[in-house]
Amino acid sequence: MDQAADAPHITFETEPARYRHWRLSVSGEVATLTLDVDPQGGLFLGYELKLNSYDLGVDIELADALQRLRFEHPTVRVAVLRSGKEGVFCAGANIRMLGRASHGHKVNFCKFTNETRCAIEDASENSGIKFLAAVNGTAAGGGYELAVAADRILLIDDRRSAVSLPETALLAVLPGTGGLTRVTDKRKVRRDLADLFCSTEEGVRGRRAVEWRLVDEAVPPSRWEERIAAAAAELAATSDRPRQAEGVALPPLAKSRGPDAIVYRHVRVALDRPAGRATITVLGPEADAPATPEAARTAGFWPLAMARELDDALLDLRFNEPRLGVLVLRSEGDAARVLAHDALLAAHPGDWFLREVRHLLKRVFKRLDLTSRSLFAVIEPGSCFAGSLAELVFAADRQYAFIGRPAGDNRPPAGLVLSALNFGAYPMANGLSRLAARFWGEPWRLDALRARIGESLPAEAAEEAGLVTAAYDEADWDEELRLVLEERASFSPDALTGMEANLRFVGPETMESRIFGRLSAWQNWIFQRPNAVGEKGALKLYGTGVQPEFDRERV
Amino acid sequence: MPDGMLVDYDGLIPNNVGLNQDARLRKALETWHPGYIDWWKEMGPEGFQESLVYLRTAVSVDPKGWARFGYVKMPEYRWGILLAPAVEGRRIGFGQHKGEPAWQEVPGEYRAMLRRLIVIQGDTEPASVEQQRHLGKTAPSLYDMRNLFQVNVEEGRHLWAMVYLLQKYFGKDGREEAEELLRRRSGSRDAPRMLGAFNEATPDWLSFFMFTFFTDRDGKMQLEALAQSGFDPLSRTCRFMLTEEAHHMFVGETGVQRIVERTAQAMNAAGIEDPTDVERVRALGVIDLPLVQKKINLHFSLTLDLFGNEVSTNAANAYNAGLKGRYREDKIDDDHRLLDSTYPVLRLKEGRIVEEQVPALSALNMRLRDDYVADCRAGVERWNRVLEKANIPFRLTLPHVAFNRRIGEFAGAHVTPEGEVVDAASWAARCGSWLPSAEDGMFLEGLMRPEYAPGRYAGWIAPPKVGIDGKPGEFEYVKLHMA
C-alpha cells in the first residue's frame, strides 16, 4: 500500500447514505451507531476487513457520523455504539492493512483514529452527546479502544466475549489509539492488572472485566437489550442538549482539486511541489455576521463552513501530500467581520448550534496543532487574522508580519486583533489556550493582552507584544521570508516533526496530550523497528503462522 | 505390559497418569468431581439415571483389550483419565519445532494458545450430552438406548480428559476454565456452549444419528489433528479418545443406514416406486428419503461451520507452533513446515465460487475440512449401497460446501445444495425443499415412540446386524428402573 504517485487521493467526505461500514439510526433522544464492516470495502486493495476490523475508510465514516450527530441531530442525547455482527464487536485496526501500509500512512491513520476517539470524548464532555458502548461480542485492540472512548461500557456476558489489547503479545506493537493511556488514566485500571491485561492475548471476560474496571457492567444476553435501553436512558438524563431543535444539514463541500491547488469557498490551498510547501489561505466572511443565533443556524454560517473546509484541507494534505513539509498560513478579508462573528459565537453560550460551531473550530485548530508539518503564519496587508482566525497564527511554529503597506497597495496594513475567544475557547490538547501556552514563561504578557481585546495591533505592535516572531518592512520582507522557508525545507523532516511536537505543547499534560505524545514517541518508534516491521517482524508475519524472530536486545 | 498401560482402578478416579503420586492434581480433580456429578445428574440423560445400563468402561489402554462390559448406573460410571502409552523418544512432527523432542510440559509462549485449543475441544464434550438428554424417552430400542448412553458417558469421559489437561498443566487459569466447562449449557442464551452446532437442539433420533455421523466426525478430525500435537500429554490424551470416538461414528453411520434400510424395505413391500411420494411413504410409518436428505443437508452444513474460517491465522499459528497438526500428519509425505507451499481454497468472488491458491499454512482449516468431507462421502456411499441393493431409485448426497453456511467464506451467501449462487429471495423460496421444515419436525416427533421391550425395534428402523459385545438379539441392554 505504499502510495504510488498516481494513486487516487483519499477523500474524507462522506454521508450516511454512502456509508459502507456504519449504520446511523436515530430514535428520539437515542442514536445507534452500528458497526457492520463490509469486508470488501477496504480503502486499498490487498486486504479484507474481516471481523469488523477497520481501516481509515471505516474511521472516516465514524468521524462523519459524529459530526452529523452534533449538527444534524441536536436532540440526540446519547449514542449507542454496537456491532452488527454476531459474536464480534470489533477486531480493531486491520492487521494486514497495517502490515502493508507505509510508515507515514500508519502514523497518519493512527493519528486520525485518535482524533476521532477524542472527538467522541469531546462530544460527551462539551456537547451533551453521551456515549454507550454496547460490546456485544469480542472487542480486541482498536475495538476495545473504541469502546473505551465511550462514557460507559456494557460487555455481553455470554462466557465468550472478551475485551482485549493483544497488540504486544500478538503483533509486537502497542495499542495505537490511546488504549494503554485510557486503560490507566480513564478507566483507572490498577497498573499491575493493566500489565496483565495488555499482555494477555485472549483478553478478559465477564465479571473479571468489571472487577478490573475494564468495563462497567457484564450483562447476560437475556437482559442485554433491556440493559442497553436502561443505560442509554440513564446517560441521556445527564445531557444538556435541547429537547426540541431543528438540525442543520451539512451539505457536501464545494471542493475542487487540481494538480497544484485545492480550492474551496473559504479556503484555498496552493501546492508548491518544487518548494515542498503548501500555502493555505483562509478567506474571511463575505458578509456581516447574522444578527441572531437563529439567523446563524445554516451550514453557510461562515465559521462553520470555513472550519469544515479547513479541516478537510488539513486531512487532504496529511494523507495525500506527504512531501509538502511546510504549511504557510495566510488569510484575506475583513477583520471586523471576523470579529463580529466572534461576538455572536461568544454572546450565546447556551445556544446549541453556536456551541457546536465553537467546538468544531476548537477541534480543527487542534488538528492543526497535531499536524506534523512546519507551520508558518504570514501576516500581510489585507489579512484578517482576528479573534478565532488569529488562532491559526498562534498555532504556527513561527509568525511573520509585514510592516506597513507595499507601495501602491491600498489594502489595510497587516495586523492582529484579539477577541475574548482567544483566551480559553479553543484549548490545545494540553488544556491551555494557545496564548497561555505561548506566554508560559511570561504570564504578565497574557494579562496585558486581555486588556487589549478588540484593539488593532499592527505588525510592530504585535511584535512588541510578543505575538509574532518578527516583523519586516517592504525592504526586507521578500528576502527574509524566502530564506526562512528555504532553510526550513532543508532540515530533516523527522527531526522537524519531533522538534515541533515538543515545542508546541508546553506545560501540563492531559490524557489527550499524553495519548498523542506517546503515540508519537513510542508507537511510531516501534512501527519502525525490525521486531515489528522487519521481514521477520511480527506485523509482517501476522497471519502467515510463522513465528516472528525478535532482536532480543533491549534499547 | 509396556509402561503406562497399567490403569489404577482402585481410587476414586481410575487413571494411568499416576494420580496417587500427584497430590496437587488429585486435589484439583477431587474438588472438581462433585460439580461434575451434579452436572451429570442435572444435564445428563433424563429419566434413566437409576437404570442399569450395559456399558463398556475403559480399564486399560492396550488396544487389544481396553474395555470391559457390565451393568452400571450411569452416575456411578467410572470416568477415568487414560492416556495412550507414551512413545519412547517421540519428537515434534511439524512446524518450526519439527524434530525437537515432544514437550512434556507446556512451553510458556504457547500457554494461552494451547489452553484455548483444549477449552474449545473440551466445551464440545459435555455439550452433546446436554443436547441429547431427552432422547432416552423416545429410544427405538434398548439397543439404541444403550448406544446413546454409551456415547454420553464417553463424551463425559472426554470432558474428564480435557479437564485433566487443564488442571495438570494450566494452573489456576486451568482450574477456572474447568469450572466454566460445567457452567456453560448447550442452547442457553446466557451461557451457551462455545460453538454454534453445539447449541442446536437434538430433538429426535434421526437428528441424533446425523449428529453422531457428521458432528462427532468433526470431533474425530479435531482429535486426529490434536493427536499430532508436539505437546505430548495432549497427543496421548487425544489418541486414546479416538479409540472411543470410533464407536460414536459407528452409532451414527449404522443408525442412518438402518433407517434407510427400513424405509427401502417398507417401500418395496408396499410397492411404492417413487421415493419422492412423501405422503405415501410416511403413511407406512417410516422416514422418507427426501427427509433423510434434508437432515444430511442441515447437519453437514452446520458441522462445516465448526471448521472455522477457511483462511485462518489461528490455525496457521497453532500449526507452526507445533500444537495442532493436519489429519494424519505423520502419514503425509512433505516437509511438514508448509512455509512455501500453497493449498486451494474455495472463495466467493463477485458472486461466483472460485478456487484460489493460498499459502498452505493459512489454509489448514480448509485442508482439515476437505479431509472431513472425503470421510463423510465414504459413509454416504455406504448408505447408497443399501438403496442400490433394494433397487430404490434414490441416492443420498452431500450438499455443496457453500450451502447454508454461517461461518467462513460463504457466510451469508445464498448457495443451493448443488453449489449454484442465487439471490436471497429465490433461496428463501426454495429452502423448504432443502432443509427440514417445522412440518418435517412434527412428523418425526410423531414417529418417536419408545420401544422398551428387549429385542424389539420401532417400525422406522431396522434391527442391527449384530449385537453389542456379541450379545444376542433379545438381550436386555438397559434394565429400566421404572420397569
pLDDT at B122: 95
For residue B483, count other CB atoms closer than 10 A to its CB. 9
| Helix runs in A128-178, H state only | 142-148
Answer yes or no: is pLDDT of B1 > 70.
Answer: no
Q: Quote the cell numbers at residue A549.
A: 524472530
pLDDT digits (tens, 9 = 90+) for A283-299: 999 999 999 999 999 99
Mean pLDDT for all residues in chain A: 94
Amino acid, res. B150: Q
Contacts of A202 in chain B (CB under 8 A): 112, 116
First-to-final CA distance of chain B:
43
The separation between CA A454 and the C-alpha centre of its own chain, rounded to angstroms, equals 30
CA pair distance A393, A386, nearest whole angstrom: 10
pLDDT digits (tens, 9 = 90+) for A408-437: 888 999 999 999 999 999 999 999 999 999
Contacts of A200 in chain B (CB under 8 A): 112
Answer yes or no: is pLDDT of B91 > 80.
Answer: yes
**Residues of chain A numbered 132-161 and touching chain B (CB < 8 Å):** 157-160
pLDDT digits (tens, 9 = 90+) for B340-368: 899 999 998 888 999 999 999 999 999 99
Query: Binning pLDDT at 50, 70 and 90, where does residue B70 land?
Result: very high
First-to-final CA distance of chain A:
29
Of B96, B189, B315, the CB nearest to A547: B96
Contacts of A544 in chain B (CB under 8 A): 316, 359, 361-362
A3-17, A184-198, A257-271, B323-337: least confidently modelled range: A3-17
Contacts of B315 in chain A (CB under 8 A): 545
Indicate the angle between helix axes B313-320 and B364-389, nearest 10 degrees: 100
The neighbouring-strand residues paired with A386 are A417
Amino acid, res. B309: N
Query: Binning pLDDT at 50, 70 and 90, where does residue B196 land?
Result: confident
**Residues of chain A numbered 315-374 and touching chain B (CB < 8 Å):** none
What integer is the mean pLDDT of A439-450?
A: 96
Answer yes or no: is pLDDT of B6 > 80.
Answer: no
CA pair distance A202, A186, nearest whole angstrom: 22
CA pair distance A151, A125, nearest whole angstrom: 10
Q: Does B361 touch chain A (CB under 8 A)?
A: yes
pLDDT at A135: 98
What integer is the mean pLDDT of B315-326?
A: 94
Give B448: exposed, middle or buried? Use CB within 10 Å, 0-12, 13-18, 19+.
middle
Query: Is there a contact between B198 and B132 (Cβ–Cβ < 8 Å)?
Result: no
Q: Report the sign of the C-alpha dihedral through residues A236, A239, A244, A248, in that order.
A: negative
Of B180, B184, B316, the CB nearest to A544: B316
Inter-chain touch A50–B180, beta carbons under 8 Å: no
DSSP string covering B180-216:
HHHH--TT-SSS--SSGGGGS---SHHHHHHIIIIIH
Mean pLDDT for all residues in chain B: 92
Query: Is there a contact between A212 and A197 (Cβ–Cβ < 8 Å)?
Result: yes
pLDDT digits (tens, 9 = 90+) for A475-513: 999 999 999 999 999 999 999 999 999 999 999 999 999
CA pair distance B247, B267, nearest whole angstrom: 30
pLDDT digits (tens, 9 = 90+) for A51-90: 999 999 999 999 999 999 999 999 999 999 999 998 899 9
Question: DSSP assignment, residue B348?
Answer: E
Amino acid, res. B317: N
CA pair distance A289, A266, nearest whole angstrom: 15
Answer yes or no: is pLDDT of A358 > 90.
Answer: yes
Inter-chain touch A221–B319, beta carbons under 8 Å: no
CA pair distance B402, B411, nearest whole angstrom: 8
ipTM of this predicted complex? 0.78
CA pair distance A388, A418, nearest whole angstrom: 8
pLDDT digits (tens, 9 = 90+) for A233-277: 999 999 999 999 999 999 999 999 999 999 999 999 999 999 999
For residue A217, count other CB atoms closer than 10 A to its CB. 14
Question: DSSP assignment, residue A534?
Answer: S
**Residue of chain B minimizing CA distance to A200:** B112
Inter-chain touch B189–A169, beta carbons under 8 Å: no
Answer yes or no: is pLDDT of A359 > 50.
Answer: yes
Disruptive mutation site among A546, A549, A550, A552 for chain B (greatest number of B CBs within 10 Å): A546
Domains of chain A: residue spans and CATH? 16-236 (3.90.226.10), 256-504 (3.90.226.10)
Answer yes or no: is pLDDT of B483 > 60.
Answer: no
Q: Which pairs from A301-305 meet CB under 8 Å and 24+ separation?
A: A301/A357, A302/A266, A302/A337, A302/A341, A303/A341, A303/A345, A303/A357, A303/A361, A303/A388, A304/A71, A304/A248, A304/A357, A304/A360, A305/A265, A305/A266
Of B112, B184, B338, the CB nearest to A159: B184
Contacts of A161 in chain B (CB under 8 A): none
Q: Does B324 touch chain A (CB under 8 A)?
A: no
Query: Is there a contact between A268 and A257 (Cβ–Cβ < 8 Å)?
Result: no
Q: How many CA atoms lie within 13 A of B367 on its CB side?
A: 24
Q: How many CA atoms lie within 13 A of A445 on its CB side?
A: 15
pLDDT at A437: 97
Answer yes or no: is pLDDT of A527 > 90.
Answer: no
Of B183, B190, B316, the CB nearest to A543: B316
Query: Is there a contact between B6 and B16 (Cβ–Cβ < 8 Å)?
Result: yes
> Which residue, among A414, A373, A379, A427, has the nearest Cα to A399 in the 3D structure?
A379
Query: Binning pLDDT at 50, 70 and 90, where does residue A539 land?
Result: confident
Inter-chain touch B309–A220, beta carbons under 8 Å: no
Q: Does A122 touch chain B (CB under 8 A)?
A: no
**Residue of chain A minimizing CA distance to B342:** A544
Contacts of B317 in chain A (CB under 8 A): 545
Give the rounded percent of residues in chain B with a pLDDT score beyond 70: 98
Domains of chain B: residue spans and CATH? 19-479 (1.10.620.20)
